[in-house]
Amino acid sequence: MCLSTVYRGAKTPENIVMQNVQSIEIQPGQVLLTDLMERQMVVVGTLLSVDLVGGSAVVREEG
């Protein structure tokens, strides 16, 4: 099982949005994150990058 950490803007510890993310769904103008415990979070913005080997993703918040 591959789980990821999602960061806001840059991959630094203080920018962690959610850990143990199992799925990322792109919707118009937002990114829906779901973690291992099925908790969900919506980030208004766009997905910038995903590192599948490193288990990380970066989103850019808008607003």
Convert the pLDDT of each residue in 10-60 to its tens digit: 999 999 999 999 999 999 999 999 999 999 999 999 999 999 999 999 999
The confidence score (pLDDT) of residue 2 equals 81
Would you state the torsion angle of the CA atoms of residues 1, 19, 31, 42, taken in this order, to the nearest 10 degrees?
A: 130
The confidence score (pLDDT) of residue 19 equals 98
Residue 4 pLDDT > 70: yes
CA 30 to chain centroid: 11
DSSP code of residue 2: -
Residue 63 pLDDT > 80: no
Q: Is 11 helix (H, G, I), strand (E, B) or coil?
A: coil
The confidence score (pLDDT) of residue 26 equals 97
The confidence score (pLDDT) of residue 51 equals 96
Please give the Cα distance from 28 to 39 (Å, whole number).
Answer: 20
